[in-house]
Structure 1
Amino acid sequence: MISYTRSVLLGGAFATLFAGAAFAQTSWDMPTPYGDGIFHTQNIRQFADDVDKATGGDLKITVHSANSLFGHAEIPDAVRDGLVPIGEFLLSRLANEDPLYGLDSIPFLASSYDASAKLWSVSRDEIAAKLAARGLTVLYAVPWPGQSLYLRKEVTEPAQFEGLAFRAYNVASERLAQLLGATPTQVEETDVATAFTTGRVEAMITSPSTGANAKAWDFVTHYIDVQAWLPNNVIVVNTEAFEALPEAQRNALREAAAAAETRGLEMSKAETAAKIGELEAGGMIVSKPTEAVAAKLQEVGKTMTAEWEAKAGASGQAVVEAFRNK
């Protein structure tokens, strides 16, 4: 058990509560993986400000961005173990522990913001229950822009994927390439530009944010906006720390979280539009998939969803069924 009547030293105290009628100011440290220029971090800083104002300064959250307090992979356990009371991480990073955590990263299951929101609404309770078993309470989630196709040539027919050297960086992207008839080619992120320039790869899938930041127009010509999946970042709080707060502060956290989830979704949509605009400004040809390509991608999505359901078992199948029927 973690005591919240003393400070936990890790760059400062994160929770100081005193018993009695009056509560002293509570200070929480919050690690996030991303830099201050990323919209997720900007949204979190607004969330922290909202909590500060709603509690009259009684609950203060100090945001530690860009892995400055904990590395991304360490954040879930750091919150669970009470080293910090609150944190942010990419939900699908936990998919090796339970397939349900990777639900939002199944290609072409939820290929739009509306579908992503629907998928989160039907899976949230199940995911929250699994995180609760780890001692974590879900506050809110915000999706990244959708993953889309970058190519060195125009592709209007599924057959044109056949034999293409397709960048693979994990098991899912390798399987995606195989189902498209492409040749999966392992390329690290730092080598992407060189791999395209030398012809070692001819296609990849990533977000418009990553593409724009990498100046993808220097090495590819076409962007097909397929939004294959929109992975969620999730913000969680240590359940024991949360329950130790006065009711008014718990309510303030919930209300600020609800506002952050709504605001974050709109920020993600704005990010998508802005970054696609940068790709166009850089000279790339931006398009939607043709009917034939869209049909092939949906076929791939059905196959990968079925493979995921086989791993996830009855609970995962029930969530997918609820999504399809909503």
Structure 2
Amino acid sequence: MLQSRRFKKAGSGFAIAAVFTFASLASAGAQTKWDMPTPYGDSNFHTQNIAEFAQDVSAGTDGSLTIQVHSAGSLFKHPEIKNSVRKGLAPIGEVLISRLSNEDPVFGVDSVPFMADSYDAAWDLYQASKPALQEKLGEQGLQLLYAVPWPPQGIYAKQDIDSIDDLRGLKMRAYNASTERLVQLAGAVPTQVEVPDLPTAFSTGRVEAMITSPSTGANSKAWDFLTHYYDTQAWLPKNMVIVNKRAFDRLSDAEKAAILEAAGAAETRGWEASKAETAAKTKVLIDNGIKVSAPSDVLQGSLREIGAAMVGEWQESAGDDGAAIVEAYQN
């Protein structure tokens, strides 16, 4: 009888231990870790913003969801990130939206020159295009979390550019179909040059002007081979953070709410960081002798005429989606 009681007592102990073990395993199983590939290095303001986003997600979920950021293409290279998220190889990632414009013109809306030529206009265009972006991503099992712009694009040259006539005949760097079309409409000669080759290309006369951001100008030390920068704010291309919809749907309601809240904060913070980046890198240009100025009314007027033509071309290629975005943006 005593032995039987001992077995019962021991059995109770095993049962209690089993309950605690199961609870521990269940708790461990509730912890989720996401790997997040990003294209840019740790010093880039987009990456720094994402690092804060990841911290906010961890804090908002009490550690039940953590995001490990893999910067500088260390997990997947930029061209691979979107498909890696779509296939579930990584549950979340960051991409330049316009990289996807070959899939659908809607993804290229923020890189149509002079469609939105200020941060306020870029925000309005983002709001007008967001429903279409979300729909296109949703068709691929992806969900948009937030988007942040790069600094606006301006014209760099080795001479005064007072009117569109001053661009005619110049060999001007083009790095995608949109910039090539812009250069052609401006009467310049499009020339393909990669960023690392800019100093040599300018010094040898292979290229005489370019359109890019203050960041690229400062990072490439444009003062070594250029003299002028015109702040045309031609367009503000954006990066977006996307998540695999199946991975998102597997989260608890509390985790979903936390990640959406962190995304909203990252979007607000990122737009302000972009403005700060623009101001800081423009100052670097000035401090190193680049003459920074606003475009003349004549030049800006001509550029906006070119922009209007390119908006029309983009809208035609984007069909009903393009028409809806333009209408929403203009209203």
Question: Normalising by structure 2, what TM-score?
Answer: 0.91
Q: Which amino acid aligns with 1:224?
A: Y
Pick one of 304, 308, 322 that aligns with 2:310. 304
Q: Which of the numbers 44, 53, 56 marks the counterpart of 2:59?
A: 53
Deviation at 1:159, TM superposition (A): 1.2
Instruction: Decide which of 70, 89, 97 is 1:91's aligned counterpart.
Output: 97
Higher relative helix content = 2
Deviation by residue 1:118-148 (Cα, 9 ceiling, x = unmatched): 0011111111011011000110000000111
Report the Cα offset of residue 318 of structure 1.
Answer: 1.2
Q: 1:208 aligns with which of 178, 190, 214?
A: 214
1:187-202 matches, cutoff 5 A: 187-202=193-208
- What are the ranges of 5 or more consecutive residues in structure 2 without an aligned counterpart? 1-23
The residue that corresponds to 2:6 in the other structure is none
Q: Which amino acid aligns with 1:122?
A: A
Deviation track 1:178-232 (CA, whole Å, cap 9, x = no partner) reads: 1111111222222211111122211100111011000000000000001111111
Are 1:153 and 2:191 matched, yes or no?
A: no
2:232–2:294 CA contact under 8 A, matched in 1: yes
Taking the aligned partners of 2:61 and 2:49, their CA distance within structure 1 comes to: 18
Shifted more, 183-192 versus 239-248: the winner is 183-192
CA distance in 1 between partners of 2:323 and 2:133 (Å): 14
Aligned residues of 2:195 and 2:220 also touching (Cα < 8 A): no
- Cα shift at 1:156: 1.0
Q: Does the 8 Å contact 2:92/2:241 carry over to 1? A: yes
**Match of 1:8?**
none
Counterpart of 1:285 (choices 288, 291, 301) is 291
Any idea what SS the aligned residue of 2:151 has? coil
What letter matches 1:157 in structure 2? Answer: S
Map of 1:294 onto structure 2:
300
* Superimposed CA distance per residue, residues 71-101 of structure 1 (whole angstroms, 9 cap, x where no aligned partner): 1011111111111110000011110010000
Q: State which drifts further: 216-225 or 168-177.
A: 168-177
What is the identity, as a one-letter code, of the residue corresponding to 1:281?
Answer: D
TM-score, length-scaled by structure 1: 0.92
2:169 to 163, 169, 179: 163
Cα-to-partner distance string for 1:32-66 (whole Å, 9 max, x where unaligned): 00000000000000000001111111110000000
Contact kept? 2:196, 2:220, Cα under 8 Å: no
Who is 2:233 aligned against? 227
CA deviation after TM superposition for structure 1 residue 262, in Å: 0.1
The residue that corresponds to 1:241 in the other structure is 247
Cα distance in 2 between the residues matched to 1:247 and 1:21? 17
SS of corresponding position for 1:258: helix
Residue 123 of structure 2 corresponds to residue 101 of structure 1? no
Superposition deviation, residue 158 in structure 1: 1.8
Indicate how the Cα distance of structure 1 residues 22 and 61 shifts in structure 2: closer, same or farther if over 3 A, else same.
closer
Match of 2:181 in 1: 175
Match of 2:17 in 1: none
State the match for 2:16 in structure 1: none
- Residue equivalent to 1:122: 128
Which amino acid counterpart does residue 101 of structure 2 have in structure 1? A
Q: CA RMSD in A?
A: 1.5
Q: Confirm or deny that 1:113 pairs with 2:119.
A: yes
* Counterpart amino acid of residue 175 in structure 1: R
The amino acid across from 1:273 in the alignment is A
**Contact in 1 for aligned 2:193/2:201 (Cα 8 Å):** yes
Are 2:100 and 2:108, in contact at CA under 8 Å, matched by a contact in 1?
yes
Q: Which runs of 4+ in 1 moved over 6 A?
A: 18-22
- Is residue 33 of structure 2 the alignment partner of residue 27 of structure 1? yes
Segments of 5+ residues of structure 1 without an aligned counterpart are 1-17
| Map of 2:277 onto structure 1 | 271
Q: What residue number does 1:11 align with?
A: none
1:19 deviates by 11
For residue 138 of structure 1, the aligned residue among 137, 144, 148 is 144
State the Cα distance separating 1:22 from its structure 2 match.
Answer: 9.0
* Identity, % of aligned positions: 57
* Amino acid in the other structure paired with 1:192: L
1:267 alignment partner AA: A
Aligned to 1:316: 322
Counterpart check, 1:43 vs 2:49: yes
Taking the aligned partners of 2:135 and 2:29, their CA distance within structure 1 comes to 30
